[in-house]
Amino acid sequence: TQLLEQSPQFLSIQEGENLTVYCNSSSVFSSLQWYRQEPGEGPVLLVTVVTGGEVKKLKRLTFQFGDARKDSSLHITAAQPGDTGLYLCAVGGGGFKTIFGAGTRLFVKA
Amino acid sequence: VTQNPRYLITVTGKKLTVTCSQNMNHEYMSWYRQDPGMGLKLIYYSVGAGITDKGEVPNGYNVSRSTTEDFPLRLELAAPSQTSVYFCASIQTGGAYNEQFFGPGTRLTVL
């Protein structure tokens, strides 16, 4: 059983559509991070959320941390082909260790 | 963070090393493997030169940390089950949260 469950696993949409992906757990976390991984590259940190209910925006991306700090969502408005990639959520695993979810693979068609 | 090689094909039983270097003076470094649909699994990590510890999936791997900059990953007896993409990362600490910086990955195929 994964500590972090991400859904959907795969999403293919047309350019201009909106979408939301989710990261869920039964555990409470002090913070949660979202990474994006483009094909052939390593993950890159997008955002860190630390407060229950917190909303952070990064251009067309909106991140929300659940009130109980057990889950998070990532909403993309007017998706573009450049948004294509694997979106990973991650939490601290004790010390400096990080635990990653399996990711949502997004494909945006032009 | 740099890794070499980027691509590697080998056969069962061979010994190999993947190098990792960072020039950000980060104390903490780690190695992950990424299998399709499985996210990133922690293999080994290091909190500073001379200090390493096992992660979630350490069997079949070995590491060393003789300097702050370098953290090589070794496979003593490569096996087909170790076919995967490997990522090295270093962590920037000390702020409100930690940020990991990943290398570009090494795609390993063991025949």
- Which chain B residues contact residue A33 at CB under 8 A? 97
- Which chain B residues contact residue A98 at CB under 8 A? 30, 42, 98, 100
Residue B3, pLDDT > 60, answer: yes
Predicted local confidence at residue B96, as pLDDT: 67
Please tell me which of the candidates B37, B98, B105 has its beta carbon nearest to residue A96. B98
Does the beta carbon of A24 lie under 8 angstroms from any beta carbon of chain B?
no
Encode pLDDT of B80-95 as tens digits: 999 999 999 999 887 6
Written as tens digits, the pLDDT of chain A (110 aa) is: 568 999 999 999 999 999 999 999 989 888 899 999 998 899 999 999 998 999 999 999 999 999 999 999 999 999 999 999 999 999 987 777 888 999 999 999 99
| Closest residue by Cα to residue B71 from B101, B109, B110 | B101
Average pLDDT over residues B9-36: 95
The alpha carbon of residue A97 and the mean position of all alpha carbons in its chain are separated, in whole angstroms, by 18
Its sign, for the CA torsion A82, A86, A92, A96, is negative
Number of alpha carbons in the 13 Å side-chain half-sphere of residue A98: 34
Determine, for residues B99 and A95 on separate chains, whether the beta-carbon distance falls below 8 Å. Answer: no
Please tell me which of the candidates B45, B93, B99 has its beta carbon nearest to residue A97. B45
Rounded to whole angstroms, the Cα distance separating A33 from A22 reads: 12
